[in-house]
Amino acid sequence: MAGSGPVLLLIHGIGDDSSTWGPVLDELARDHTVLAPDLLGHGGSDKPRGDYSIGAYANGMRDLLSVLDIDRASLVGHSLGGGVAMQFAYQYPERTERLVLVGAGGVSQGVSPALRAASLPFADLLLPVLGWPGVRFQTELVLQLAQQLDTGLGRDAEDFVRLVDALPDATSRSAFLRTLRAVVDWRGQVVTMLDRCYLTAGMPTLLVWGADDMIVPVEHGRTAHAAMPESRLEVFERAGHFPFHSHPQRFLTVLREFLATTKPAHWSPAEWRSLLRTGRTDRASGSPRAGRTVADDGPPAPRTNGTQVARVAHGR
């Protein structure tokens, strides 16, 4: 937790922890109160035999804000954290000021084959093998080759190795698998935000995706953009699943511009009730609508239809 000012809640992805926000956290803390917790089952937080569903994580973020006496926040969620941020906004719209989804999970079924495989039975017996010296060395060689060949896989090579190293013991691996199996099976992602995206009408929403994302393809970002009224989509060229690592200054510029040019959402029970009664509209079901798509280092596309940081360890 660092800084002062409007609150930003940064939610990391699966297998990761709060340190992932290191390249951008100090800069954001210059004029915001920045919270970067370790989700339950991750980093320094507890790893119990418990509920690792998206809804449970959203409840955990609500409880964390309540303990810290924070009523509202703008949420920035990466990967799994994007799904948690979206679920939080659905469950607690009155506590959500803005949404920023970075390579977010939970848009549609498609997901990396590696994550599908990890969700299968007996994966808990295979995961430890990745840490064996010989296997780890070969994995690093493959990733280094991917980097040299300038492939999409190579964009996130260092992060992939880091995530494998973040599962050093059986307890960590068990928590990882419980989390993964709550959202992914052999067919792909089992949860989707698309049936409730229309409820983001009036919620300032920014989508950030790497054009070469091998975990959650950029097509998911475009699908979410089409389904979320008035959202902004920023596509970072030559970036993978961690655009805030490969392009931290670009990410900070985009995020700061979004925060500066939008006002916190105003939640109205009457409007929420009306949206729920009306249900999905053509705009919310993915048809073209007014919005903005921006490619990395390029101008906005024309409007068309269409300090010292102390870690907060949640659960400790």
Is 296 among the residues known to form the active site? no
What pTM, to 2 d.p., does this model score?
0.79
Give the mean pLDDT of the chain: 79
pLDDT digit string, tens, across residues 69-106 = 999 999 999 999 999 999 999 999 999 999 999 999 88
Among candidate residues 42, 220, 241, 314, the one labeled active-site is 241
Among candidate residues 38, 42, 213, 245, the one labeled active-site is 213
User: Which of the given ranges, 11-15, 60-64, 200-204, has the highest pLDDT on average?
Assistant: 60-64
Is 63 among the residues known to form the active site? no
Is 124 among the residues known to form the active site? no
Q: Which residues contact 277 (CB under 8 A, 6 or more apart)?
A: none
Among candidate residues 45, 79, 119, 231, the one labeled active-site is 79
- pLDDT at residue 314, rounded to an integer: 40
Task: Give me the mean pLDDT over the 141-146 stretch.
Answer: 54
Mark 45-63 as b/e (b = at least 16 C-beta within 10 Å).
Answer: bebeeeebbbeebbbbbee
